[in-house]
Amino acid sequence: MIASRQQTRVFVVTLLMILLIWGCSSDDAQTEAVDQDNQVSQAQANERQNDIDEIQEMLTEAITRWRHGDVSVLYDLEFEYFRYETSFDEYVELNQVKYANADTVISITVKDVVFFEQDSADAAVQIMFIGPSWDTTYQHDSYRVYYENDRWIRPYVSHPTLAARFKENRLRADSAAAAEAEGEDW
């Protein structure tokens, strides 16, 4: 019986050691997985913050230039298809542009951004106006912004549906050109 008690103790101690070692290694694996998830989440948060900063910079530059009479900033923020189809001279003659002004807008501040996929977002903004007696008023609005050609834009006249068609057609044309070039190598 003494031998069996001693064997039982050795077995129990060995089992406890195995469980302890297994439990610790499992915690390390779980901790490592959580750390990796946290790093990914932090990287995504940093990327989103960079996007928010870029949207704020785009809106600040746009309103500053527009307030000083530079409507070329509006043209620069149109979709690529529109700039391809419409010259700047034609653009400034559009009633939407010709009669638009921003002389009372002092600032646009991004308050929150909701991102959709990778190519668009809704920016909740606060617009600060200055009146004729130098009083300030605020208006809250939501601007749909789009990510195109490695930058955020806020089109004033052009439409996202037409931009998507233009992009699809361009991809098809590029694909056809690549296939044709590949065929020429024969």
Architecture of domain 2-184: Roll (3.10)
pLDDT of the residue at 20 = 56
Average pLDDT of the chain, as a whole number: 84
| % of the chain surpassing 70 pLDDT | 77
Instruction: Pick the more confident residue, 127 or 117.
Output: 127
Instruction: Spell out where the chain has E strands.
Output: 105-116, 120-130, 136-148, 151-153
* CA gyration radius, the chain: 30
Query: For residue 29, is pLDDT > 60?
Result: no
Please state whether the predicted TM-score (pTM) of the whole model is above 0.75: no
| Alpha-carbon distance values, 118 to 48, 114, 156 (Å) | 10, 11, 20
Range in 10-14, 85-89, 99-103, 127-131 the model is least confident about = 10-14
Q: What are the tens digits of pLDDT across the range 41-70?
A: 888 888 899 999 999 999 999 999 999 989
| % of the chain surpassing 90 pLDDT | 49
In angstroms, rounded to a whole number, what is the distance separating the alpha carbons of residues 70 and 59?
Answer: 14
pLDDT band at residue 34 under the 50/70/90 scheme = low
Is-contact 54 62, C-beta < 8 A?
no
